[in-house]
Chains A and B, each alone.
Chain A
Amino acid sequence: MSEKPLAGSRLSRRTWLAAVLILVVIPLTIILGIVVLDDRKYYFISLLIVLYTMIPFALVFEKRKPQARELIVIAVLAAIAVAGRSAFFMLPQFKPVVAIVIIAGVSFGAEAGFLVGATAGFVSNFFFGQGPWTPWQMFCFGIIGFLAGILFQKGLLKKTKLSLCLFGGLATFFVYGGIINFGSVSIFSSQFSWQVLLASYVSGFWFDIVHAAATVLFLFILARPMLEKLDRIKTKYGLIEPGDK
C-alpha cells in the first residue's frame, strides 16, 4: 500500500464520485429534507451527508480488491487505536485514537488514514455501545486521517514533531470537537439555533482541550518511533514493493 495509487487513477475516481455527491446528491438531500422532514431536518440532513462522504471510500476500496497485507495493516492500526485506550486506564480522557489515525494517514496515505479512523470509530462502539453518535465519530476520525494523508502528500504536513503535534492539536480540537459537538446538537435539538450550538461548544471546551492535549502529547512521544516501526514493516515485509517509494 503505497502513497502512489492515491495520486493516480484512484484519487481521480474518488474525486469524480465525490463531485457527483457534492453537486447532485447532497443538494438533493438538503432540498428533500427541508421539504419533507420539516422539524427533524437538521439531524437527518447532516447524518446523510456524513454517510455520503464515507460511501466513496468504501466503494473505491472494495472495487480495487485490496490485498491481504493492506487489510491487515488497516486492521492492526485500527485495533491498536481501539485497544490502546486500555494502556492508559489510569488516565481518564486519554485516548490515543486521533494520534494513531494521523500516523496511519501520514505513513500509509489518505485512504488508509480514513479507513483506519472510520474503522476504529465504528468498532470501538461494538465494545462501548453503538448509538446515534457512531456515524459522527467514524466521520471525524476518518476525515482526520484523510486530511493527514492529503496534507502530507502535498508537503504541507511534515514528519517532524512540531508539524505533527500542531496538526494533531488543531485537528482534534477543531475537526473532532467541532463536528462532534455539532452532531450532538443536531441529534436532540430540532430547532437549530446558534445559541444552542454555542452552548454546546462552551460546555465541551475543556473536554476538547484535554483531548487535544492528549493527542499532542501522544504525537510528541509516539510519532517518531511509530513512523519508524511502520517504515520497517513496509520495507521489510514488502508492504510496498521495492522501488515503489
Chain B
Amino acid sequence: MQDRFSSFHPIVNFTYFAAVLLFGMLFMHPILQAVSLASALVYSIMLNGKKAVTFNLLYMLPLLLITAVLNPVFNHAGVTILFYLHNGNPITLESIVYGVSAACMFVTVIIWFSCYNAVMTSDKFIYLFGKIMPALSLIFSMVLRFVPRYIAQLKVISNAQKCIGRDVSQGTILVRARNGMTILSIMTTWALENAIETADSMKSRGYGLPGRTSFSLIRFDTRDKTIFLIMLGLIAIIVTGAALGENTMRFFPSMKVPDRSPLSFIVYLAYLGLCLLPVIINAVEEIKWKRIASRM
C-alpha cells in the first residue's frame, strides 16, 4: 500500500523519526521497548511489505539473539546468580535480562532506520538542510546526481577497456585490481574535465550572487500543522515522563521497574500514539478513501 505519512511535510517526517529513534535508544523500560519494537515492525512491514518480513526474520531475529547472548558473557554484574562458567565467572539473571533489553533496543533502532530510509528520501533531507546549510546541501544534491552517472560511466569505460583486451572480470586479484584502478583513473579524468562545464553552467546561471533563495515544491499546510502539533504534544508528555523517571528501569544490582501510577499509563499511551502515528494516519486515510470511493 502507499504510505500516506511520506506525503507529509519533511519537517513532520524528520521530527517523527528523530523522536522515535532518540526515544528508542534511550528508554530501557520493558513496556516502552515493546511498544517501540512492535510499532517499528508494523510500520516497516506496511512500508516495505514482504521484503521487510524477510529482513526482520532473516537478519533482525538472529542479531537479537546473538546480542542477547553476548552480554552476559562479558557482563557479570547483578545479584541473582544462575550458574558459573568454567572460568569461574558468574552468569546473572540481571545481565541476561539486560542483554535481551539492549539487543531489543538495537534491533528496534535498526528497524526504525529501515523505515526512515523508505520515508526520508534524499530530496526531503536536502530540502530540510537547504535552509540552514545551502552550500552543503547543494553539494549533497550534486553528489546524488553524480553517483548514478559515474556508475553508468564506469560500466561504459570497463566495456571499452574490455574491447581493447583489458578485462576486469578475469585474471588474478592483483591484475583485476589493477584493471579496476585504470578504469577508476579514466573515470576520474573524465569526471573532473567534464565538471568544469558544470561549474560554468552554475556560474552562468548566477550561482554565487548574494541573496540566494531556496525553492521547493513542498508546502506546510493545515494537515501538516495538525499532525505536527499532535506529535509535539505527545513528545511533551513522553519527555515529562522521562523527567519523572517513568521511562526507564533499574537492572543492576537488582532489577526494579518503576511503580505504575496513572501517569505511567498516560505516558505509555502517548508513546504508543507517537510510535504508531504513521500507521494510524495510513489507516484513517484508507477508511476515508473507501468511504469516498463507495459514494462515487
Contact = CB atoms under 8 A, between A and B. Distances in A.
A82 interface: yes
A39 B28 contact: yes
A26 interface: no
B188 A75 contact: no
B103 A188 contact: yes
B65 interface: no
Interface string B117-156: 1001010000000000111101110111011001100110
Interface string B5-43: 000000000000000000001101000000000000000
A-side binding surface: helix, strand, loop or mixed? helix
A86 B154 contact: yes
B54 interface: no
A165 interface: no
B208 interface: yes
A72 interface: yes
B177 A217 contact: yes
B173 A38 contact: no
B142 A75 contact: yes
B75 A193 contact: yes
A65 B211 CA distance: 11
B183 A73 contact: no
Contacts of A126: 122, 144
A229 interface: yes
A210 to B, nearest CB: 12
Contacts of B195: 72-73, 75-76
Interface stretch (B107-115, B227-235, B259-267): B107-115
Contact of B146 (A69, A79, A88, A191): A79
Counting contact residues on chain B (CB < 8 A from A), the size range is 35 or more
B176 interface: yes
Contacts of A40: 25-26, 28
Interface stretch (A8-16, A129-137, A144-152, A155-163): A129-137
A131 B136 contact: no
B117 A62 contact: no
B58 interface: no
A193 B122 CA distance: 37
A122 B129 CA distance: 13
Contact of A74 (B113, B139, B147): B139
A130 B120 CA distance: 10
A71 interface: yes
A37 interface: yes
Contacts of A61: 135-136
Contact of B144 (A68, A123, A132, A233): A123
B184 A84 contact: yes
Contacts of B136: 58, 61-62, 115, 119
- Candidate in B67, B139, B199 with the most chain A CB atoms within 10 angstroms: B139
Given A72-B195, A237-B196, A119 B140 contact: yes
A166 B91 CA distance: 44
- Candidate in B25, B109, B158, B248 with the most chain A CB atoms within 10 angstroms: B25
Contact of A88 (B26, B180, B198): B180
Given A68-B208, A91-B173, A130-B116, A189 B102 contact: yes
Interface in A21-76: 37-40, 43-44, 58, 61-62, 65-69, 71-76
A79 B154 CA distance: 12
Contacts of A76: 146, 191-192, 195
Contacts of A38: 248
Contacts of A18: none
B207 A68 contact: yes
A83 B140 contact: no
Interface string A79-103: 1101110111011001010000000
B105 interface: yes
Contact of B188 (A62, A80, A86): A80
Nearest to B142: A75
Contact of A91 (B134, B177, B185): B177
B294 to A, nearest CB: 39
B102 A90 contact: no
Nearest to A187: B106
A218 interface: yes
28 contacts: A61-B136, A62-B134, A62-B135, A65-B135, A72-B202, A73-B195, A75-B139, A80-B187, A83-B151, A87-B154, A87-B184, A90-B169, A91-B173, A94-B177, A120-B143, A126-B144, A130-B117, A131-B113, A132-B109, A187-B106, A190-B102, A191-B77, A196-B74, A217-B177, A222-B181, A222-B185, A229-B188, A233-B193
